[in-house]
Structure 1
Amino acid sequence: MIRLDHEVLQNVLKPSRYTGGEWNAVKKDWDKVDCTFALSLPDVYEVGMSNLGLAILYDALNRQKNVAAERVYAPWTDMEKEMRERKIPLFSLETHTELSAFDLWGFSLQYEMIYSNVLNMLDLAGVPLWAKDRDDTMPFIVGGGPCVYNVEPIADFFDFFIVGEAEEAVVEIANAMAAWKKDGRQGGRRGFLKRLLTLDGIYVPSFYEPQYDAAGNYLSLKALEEKAKPLIFKRVCRDMDEVPSVEKPIVPFMDIVHNRIMLELFRGCSRGCRFCQAGICYRPARERTEKNLKAMARSLVDKSGYDEMSLTSLSSADYSCLGNLVNDLMEEFKNEKVSFSLPSLRIDSFSIELAHKMQQVRKSGLTFAPEAGTQRLRDVINKGVTEENLMNACGSAFRQGWKQVKLYFMMGLPTETDEDIIGIAKLAKKVVDLYTEIKGRRGVKVTISVACFVPKPYTPFQWFGQLPIAEFERRQQLLKEHITDRAITFNYHDARLSVIEGVFARGDRRLAKVLYQAWADGAKFDGWSDLYQHDTWLEAFEKCGVDMKYYNERQRDFNEPLPWDITSPGVNKEFLLREWKKAMEGALTEDCRRGKCSACGICPNLGVHVIDYAKENPTVAEQIAKVAAPKNPEKDPKGPGKPRTLYKYRAEITKGEELRYVSHLDYANLFLRAFDRAKLPMAYSEGFNPHMKVAFASALSLGVTSEAEYMDFELLKPVCQPEVFDRLNAQLPPGAKLKELREVHGKQPALMAQADEARYTLLVPFDGDEAAAQRAVKAYNDAPEVIFHRVTPKKKREIETKQYMKKPVVAEVTNDGLKLAMDIVITQSGSVKPVEVLRAIAEQFALPVDAGQALITRNGLFGHGKRLIELV
């Protein structure tokens, strides 16, 4: 088990990325399980924790009594520096166990520019990067996610891959691992990998050898094992109602990218956009029943405390029961202030009634994806939407009060011309003018984001040559020059990064040495524009003698063998060729879900079928229309225009060791979600974006614990004090504890205004002379004035510390180090932090300690000499 020193966590940004212990995290006894499985997304914590697929696998594995699944994400650069300097191996969040001790270690490969982080994490864990170099003591490295449809560039670093939907496969793999261990690890690593050949959807790269012709062109993969399949079809969940999703979502202490519940309506998309790999690889569309989704939503809210839910799918508005579902969810949660959002709205299926209904709790901007600036090019990519669709959708939104619209486009699509690029600017201007026409004034904000097109395997554009960097940049500049209205904001992707992504998207195993070289030269977090090192990548290709253009700019022959032919989503090549031809003709292909079958081959090849309830239901618009008028929320019994009767409480709470590295804002949010889980009738503010009526006293600095924090909160209905106490305490994570609760009677000053004194204990490592320590502390106490220079990212400030000291600092040497007691005054204009006082004593009065190592605890907050809870 890895123990992180206080000094390490104090030195890094967002230390709660590394501490674990979140609500609903599962911590198992390793002595009682047969298989341990680490799950990773090779990016920073807040990105990895936002991934629904990984959360589903975590739940699926931990539902098995004999399996322990734990999480690990890529440490940010500051933490990596600390770990390398101190020789701290990469560890899991649940038990802080070294990754090298796990049986299996799985990586979710979301897109190609996180490959360098995979190598970096393996290296940090002390696991050999190349699969061939690992012995029987090392974990098996597993890959999954969207990138499995061409893993050849990274195949030599992985032991095996799961192709397709993995929630059933991971359990089979874990059971295979348990059986292999029980059988005495028969046959070593190769013996376990051979066992996996009996499972569907598993690709073991070491059982195949790539063949090339004399000119260096890829020919085929030669099987080296008798049972190695010539084609590995993806795993697919045939009935989404039979596959559990996340039952107990982990609730992070810190804010993450998608800090909300994700309710997966259905899987797959049949719209047939020709640029979209996900649209092919997640086919066919399989819906969950409305009944099941409502039960899932209820459980997710109850077990997480989140007040925001995203109804997710590749095209959420295509869910056939969406109107009924939204109506029912809004009714179910109308008094719980839960808001709902649809992250993927198609213009042609947009319903202003639906959008208006969903944003009753919290209103935000709208996002649409026309993808191309002209109808000609939208037809080439089979987008199936028109300018009229966009204008109708925006017009409806503007009439209902929306004034922010985001539009997503791609640049570099097949057959694209300058006219298509300029069309993006013209389309955005038409949206601006439409707002002015409807509202009679300016005031709209239109943001256009333009990505560089990257051709992907198993799409009709997989043979297309990607644009070079210079041409992408020319087109970006062309578009910029044609955007003249200040109401339009233009964001675009780094073309250099997109081109490297394009190389690895359609590369072969010869790229492994390039990836290794780039990583060895410092490449990591390549998806982060401020950390991406383009020159490092160019030099890596040059050092390895690999021509980038061969992989991304070259137009491929339709008959040439493709490296990714080994792992298939089930689509027939004939279908992709037909779609390529139709793209060149600008011909559309019908949505096979609601129209005729497009003969892509996936359903018969995989033995799976579309599950769609459209025939049993009215249209979404008709469903919404049935109850389009929002129902009024519960009214206060005193009636309109009269003040509400609220019931106020003050709580004394703790912030224990488990929460030491949780920021004050995240600590406060922890309680908001606990209130939601406790199902207390919380009072909310009345306004545009209502928030829970909860207030905290003086904020704690990061890294400081407390024996007595204070919080005021208000309820809409009377609940007896013991019940409030028990219900809230039961929903608090370790480290947060409700110590005392009192009802507040009469009008009271704000909690923040009542605190005028804070008492602290500091414990800092010390092996010096006690007499010298006492002299230093006495010299500080005797000094009439001591200035500390506070430096923050925004400003520098001089603080006279003695004016804030209520009593002299008291010091004593204990077995654990130097212990100091400080009593600090809190004023309306500010205060001083105890660590600042300690630094001042160390720097100005020769106290021989490192202030950065001090463990600080706030022992109490007081007002006029009384505990704040005694003031009510």
Structure 2
Amino acid sequence: LQSPISQSPSRHTLLEALAAIPGVYVPALYDVSYAADGTVAAVTPNHPAAPAEVLKRVVTVLPPPVTKFIVPFINVVHNRAAIEIMRGCTRGCRFCQAGMIFRPVRERPVDEVLQAVDEMIEHCGFEEVSFLSLSSSDYSYVEELVRRTVERHGAKKLSVGLPSLRIESFSVDLMDLLEKGRRRSGFTFAPEAATDRLRDVINKPIASAELLATAEEVYKRGWTTIKMYFMIGHPTQTLEDVQAIADLSKEVLAVGRRVLGKKANVRIGVSTLVPKPHTPFQWVPMEDERVINAQIELLQRELRGPGIHFSWNDPEETLVEAFLTRGDRRLSDVIELAWRKGAKLEGWGEYFNFPAWQDAFAELGLDMDWYARRARALDEVLPWEHISAGLKKQFLVDEYVHTYQGGVVDDCREHCFSCGILGYFKEQRRDAPDAGWGCPSLGRGKERQPVDIAPIPLYFNDDMSPELTGQFDHRVPQRREGTVSKRIGD
């Protein structure tokens, strides 16, 4: 790969060499066959260099933060230093692809983060630093990090930000530390659902009472705006769950008005669930367009008036995201054709060209809704099934089943639920036991609880009504030392 230009390898040789690198996927070295119904029948290697399964690679120790940037001479949206303090998440939200594929958790040492802050301020002159992760308040040393940062740079008026906060791990002590090192503008939380029941469904168990209590503490400390992010389209969601978004938002505003008067505001952002690969939701259908539009219209009526700002994602843009997320390699022709028809600046709402995508699908004889809104059977070969993030399929199936029971799975820092990640990377963990891994020690585990399969919709009829049909392998109660399966049919 490092040959001089005069001795550059051929494209074929280069692809072979790339395929030999663990974790590198070379699509050209795989053939895809399709069943009569259009689903993927098999993905098979067509070259000895291509493994049957491409397993992701994991860095044991996070690389040093980048501390030297080109500093713009105009004001930009993200005008701040950003340092990754933790990679991965142990919470197990069922809709979250990043939380699944970035496992295991690895934490950066506090001293390394502080050194990076010093260097960024020296080189770039930023007045704000943002400590990044999927869940910044879950970083084991977050209070120490914020306290020491404020102590070092408080005199410079450095603002400290934690952009991803979980209500249940956000303490009053941390709030007081941030008060010393942050401009009082807004706090952001992402409950994702507005009822306790639906938050259990997505495995993000936060009590509404806890959210309101946290909001009151935030307002009491002088912050005027609370931002909350929700999703519509979750499995089992009802109209009452959607109405609850408006009700909970108004309750938070009422708390703020009681504390701060008219200075208090809430900003509500609502997006539509796009079921992602490598998550327990990869088998569920995306919500019907008519239902999504009706839910957005409901929230538009309810979330209006002084102190409330409501924003939502365009359903057509979300549909494009969905079929690209869940599609197979046949969509490469769709992408090229849509581009030729004018779809070029799709990330900018004012230039988004949905008709180009519609025309491309029609011309190629493919169906957007078939890719985006179709429920997948548990035994269907998914287009990404030969690419592994280290998670066992059975773990995802179990979590899918828990979805329809509203079953909550604990933070896996406390108990190992045998997702499979430690089995793949146990040697790395033994070689670097102090590298900030966020999983329990090897050999420490908890029995997986039995799952009652009876009420779970496994397949869907053409009219999308749930029906328990078909069969699949389902694990019964077990310990980590072994696996026992039984066949459950209709």
Q: Given the two structures, how large is their TM-score scaled by the length of structure 1?
A: 0.48
The separation in 2 between residues aligned to 1:212 and 1:317, in whole angstroms, is 45
SS, match of residue 489 in structure 1 = strand
1:181-220 to 2 correspondences below 5 Å: 181=4, 184-186=7-9, 188-220=10-42
CA displacement 1:302-360 (0-9 Å, x = unmatched): 12221211011110111111111111111111222221111001111223442343343
CA displacement 1:189-248 (0-9 Å, x = unmatched): 1111111222111111111111112332211122121120111111211122xx222142
The separation in 2 between residues aligned to 1:341 and 1:435, in whole angstroms, is 21
The separation in 2 between residues aligned to 1:514 and 1:554, in whole angstroms, is 18
Alignment counterpart, residue 225 of structure 2, candidates 390, 400, 404: 404
1:453-464 to 2 correspondences below 5 Å: 453-464=273-284
SS, match of residue 248 in structure 2 = helix
Asked if the contact 1:320/1:612 (under 8 Å) is kept, the reply is: no
The separation in 1 between residues aligned to 2:392 and 2:349, in whole angstroms, is 37
Deviation at 1:414, TM superposition (A): 0.9
Task: State the match for 1:230 in structure 2.
Answer: 52
1:225-374 to 2 correspondences below 5 Å: 225-240=47-62, 243-360=63-180, 362-374=183-195
The separation in 2 between residues aligned to 1:483 and 1:248, in whole angstroms, is 43
User: Structure 1 residues 613 and 325, CA, compared in 2 at 3 Å: closer, same or farther?
Assistant: farther
CA displacement 1:685-729 (0-9 Å, x = unmatched): xxxxxxxxxxxxxxxxxxxxxxxxxxxxxxxxxxxxxxxxxxxxx
SS, match of residue 220 in structure 1 = strand
Is 2:242 aligned against 1:421?
A: yes
The separation in 2 between residues aligned to 1:432 and 1:302, in whole angstroms, is 40
Q: Report the AA paired with residue 604 of structure 1.
A: G
The separation in 1 between residues aligned to 2:198 and 2:99, in whole angstroms, is 19
CA displacement 1:542-564 (0-9 Å, x = unmatched): 11110112111111100010100
Is 2:419 aligned against 1:600?
A: yes
Q: Report the AA paired with residue 191 of structure 2.
A: P
Task: State the match for 2:472 in structure 1.
Answer: none
SS, match of residue 385 in structure 2 = helix
Q: Report the AA paired with residue 221 of structure 2.
A: Q
CA displacement 1:626-672 (0-9 Å, x = unmatched): xxxxxxxxxxxxxxxxxxxxxxxxxxxxxxxxxxxxxxxxxxxxxxx
The separation in 2 between residues aligned to 1:468 and 1:535, in whole angstroms, is 19
The separation in 2 between residues aligned to 1:382 and 1:318, in whole angstroms, is 16
Asked if the contact 2:196/2:208 (under 8 Å) is kept, the reply is: yes
Asked if the contact 1:454/1:466 (under 8 Å) is kept, the reply is: yes
Deviation at 1:612, TM superposition (A): 5.1
Q: Report the AA paired with residue 252 of structure 2.
A: V
The separation in 1 between residues aligned to 2:70 and 2:174, in whole angstroms, is 29
Asked if the contact 2:104/2:439 (under 8 Å) is kept, the reply is: no
User: Structure 1 residues 582 and 614, CA, compared in 2 at 3 Å: closer, same or farther?
Assistant: closer
CA displacement 1:517-542 (0-9 Å, x = unmatched): 11000001212111111111111111
Asked if the contact 1:422/1:478 (under 8 Å) is kept, the reply is: yes
Deviation at 1:391, TM superposition (A): 0.8
1:428-577 to 2 correspondences below 5 Å: 428-439=249-260, 441-483=261-303, 485-577=305-397
Asked if the contact 1:185/1:191 (under 8 Å) is kept, the reply is: no
Deviation at 1:255, TM superposition (A): 3.4
Q: Report the AA paired with residue 198 of structure 1.
A: A
Aligned-residue CA RMSD (Å): 1.9
Task: State the match for 1:642 in structure 2.
Answer: none
Q: Which has the higher contact order (CA 8 A, sep 6+)?
A: 2
CA displacement 1:767-822 (0-9 Å, x = unmatched): xxxxxxxxxxxxxxxxxxxxxxxxxxxxxxxxxxxxxxxxxxxxxxxxxxxxxxxx
CA displacement 1:80-136 (0-9 Å, x = unmatched): xxxxxxxxxxxxxxxxxxxxxxxxxxxxxxxxxxxxxxxxxxxxxxxxxxxxxxxxx
Is 2:388 aligned against 1:388?
A: no
The separation in 2 between residues aligned to 1:374 and 1:257, in whole angstroms, is 33
The separation in 1 between residues aligned to 2:184 and 2:259, in whole angstroms, is 20
The separation in 2 between residues aligned to 1:436 and 1:304, in whole angstroms, is 39
SS, match of residue 350 in structure 2 = coil
Q: Report the AA paired with residue 611 of structure 1.
A: G
Identity %: 38
The separation in 2 between residues aligned to 1:395 and 1:359, in whole angstroms, is 14
Q: Report the AA paired with residue 322 of structure 1.
A: V
SS, match of residue 530 in structure 1 = helix
Q: Report the AA paired with residue 302 of structure 2.
A: H
1:2-41 to 2 correspondences below 5 Å: none
The separation in 2 between residues aligned to 1:393 and 1:203, in whole angstroms, is 45
Aligned length: 433
User: Structure 1 residues 614 and 587, CA, compared in 2 at 3 Å: closer, same or farther?
Assistant: closer
Asked if the contact 2:90/2:439 (under 8 Å) is kept, the reply is: no
User: Which of structures 1 and 2 has the bigger CA Rg?
Assistant: 1
SS, match of residue 310 in structure 1 = strand
Asked if the contact 1:460/1:579 (under 8 Å) is kept, the reply is: yes
SS, match of residue 335 in structure 1 = helix
Asked if the contact 1:340/1:359 (under 8 Å) is kept, the reply is: no
CA displacement 1:348-399 (0-9 Å, x = unmatched): 1223442343343522111111111111111100012111221111111122
Asked if the contact 1:321/1:613 (under 8 Å) is kept, the reply is: no
Q: Report the AA paired with residue 47 of structure 2.
A: E
Question: Any stretches of 5+ residues in structure 2 without a counterpart?
Answer: 430-434, 441-490
Deviation at 1:592, TM superposition (A): 0.5
